[in-house]
Structure 1
Amino acid sequence: MQITLDNPASAPQPLSPYYSQVARLEQADGSALLFVSGQIAEGATLAEQTEGVFETLTVLLAAHGATLADVVNIRTYLTDISRLEEYGTVRRRFLTGTPPTSMTFEASRLFRPEALVEVEVVAAVPAD
Structure 2
Amino acid sequence: MNITIDNPASAPQPLGPYSQVARVDMEGGGALLYLSGQIAEGDGVAAQSRGIFEALSALLAAHGATLDDVINIRTFMTDLGDLPAYAAVRTGYLTATPPTSTTVEVPRLFRPEALIEIDVVAAVRAT
Q: State if a TM-score over 0.5 links the two structures.
A: yes
Q: AA paired with 1:14?
A: P
Which structure 2 residues correspond to residues 93-112 of structure 1 after superposition, within 5 A?
A: 93-112=92-111
Q: Residue in 1 aligned with 2:10? A: 10
SS in 1 for 2:111: coil
Which structure 2 residues correspond to residues 34-73 of structure 1 after superposition, within 5 A?
A: 34-73=33-72
Q: CA–CA distance in 1 between the matches of 2:64 and 2:83?
A: 30
Q: AA paired with 1:107?
A: V
Q: CA–CA distance in 1 between the matches of 2:53 and 2:94?
A: 9
Q: CA–CA distance in 1 between the matches of 2:20 and 2:121?
A: 12
Q: AA paired with 2:29?
A: G
Task: Give the Å deviation of 1:111.
Answer: 1.4
Structure 1 unmatched ranges of 5 or more: none
Aligned length, in residue pairs? 127
Structure 2 unmatched ranges of 5 or more: none
Q: AA paired with 2:11?
A: A
Task: Give the Å deviation of 1:97.
Answer: 1.3
SS in 1 for 2:35: strand
SS in 2 for 1:38: coil
Which structure 2 residues correspond to residues 75-90 of structure 1 after superposition, within 5 A?
A: 75-90=74-89
Task: Give the Å deviation of 1:30.
Answer: 1.2
SS in 2 for 1:57: helix
Q: CA RMSD in A?
A: 0.5
Q: AA paired with 1:108?
A: P
Percent identity, aligned pairs only, is 65
Q: CA–CA distance in 2 between the matches of 1:62 and 1:12?
A: 12
SS in 1 for 2:119: strand
Q: AA paired with 1:58?
A: S
Task: Give the Å deviation of 1:44.
Answer: 1.1
